[in-house]
Amino acid sequence: MVASALPHEFPVDVAQDDIDFMGHVNNASYLKWVQAAVIDHWQRFAPTDVVGQHLWVALKHEITYRRPAFLDDEVVATVLLEKVHGARAFYETVIKRGSEVLAEVKSSWCCLDAETLKPARLAQNVIDRFFVKEA
């Protein structure tokens, strides 16, 4: 049996303060969008009580920029959880305007216990909620 990640679409609001001196979205805004999209993904699929017990910290982002985004563009970030290993989660996020890929992001995150702020492993039944099993 194969498991496939459940995609999560996160609409992005391109704001005036995202625009840089060249008239398009500043690269730093993409990081802000990825963080918001990944956290929204976590909150959507994880049980509410588990969400309250855990925090996520980004460890690494690798961004490939394909096209610029502009003010008032309709942008969507699609998030996929690739795998979980220990307290680390590995994500792929694709940021698009319609069918145009604006950026592709590979990122790794560390799950923390909300009380102790130490790395925390997630139970397998929580991880399974982010995937669909296929025959």
Q: Scan for tokens 């563009």, then name that residue.
A: 73
The conformation of residue 119, written as its DSSP 8-state character, comes to: B
| CATH number, domain containing residue 104 | 3.10.129.10
Q: Could you tell me which of 105, 99, 115, 114 has the C-alpha nearest to residue 65?
A: 105
- Rounded Cα–Cα distance for residues 111 and 85 (Å): 10
Give the domain range for residue 62: 2-134
Task: Tell me if 78 sits within 8 A of 96, measured CB to CB.
Answer: yes
Per residue of the chain (135 residues), give pLDDT as tens.
567 999 999 999 999 999 999 999 999 999 999 999 999 999 999 999 999 999 999 999 999 999 999 999 999 999 999 999 999 999 999 999 999 999 999 999 999 999 999 999 999 999 999 999 876
Q: Scan for tokens 């942008």, then name that residue.
A: 75
Q: Is the pTM value of this prediction over 0.85? A: yes
Domain count, the chain: 1
- Rounded Cα–Cα distance for residues 121 and 50 (Å): 12
- pLDDT on residue 1: 56
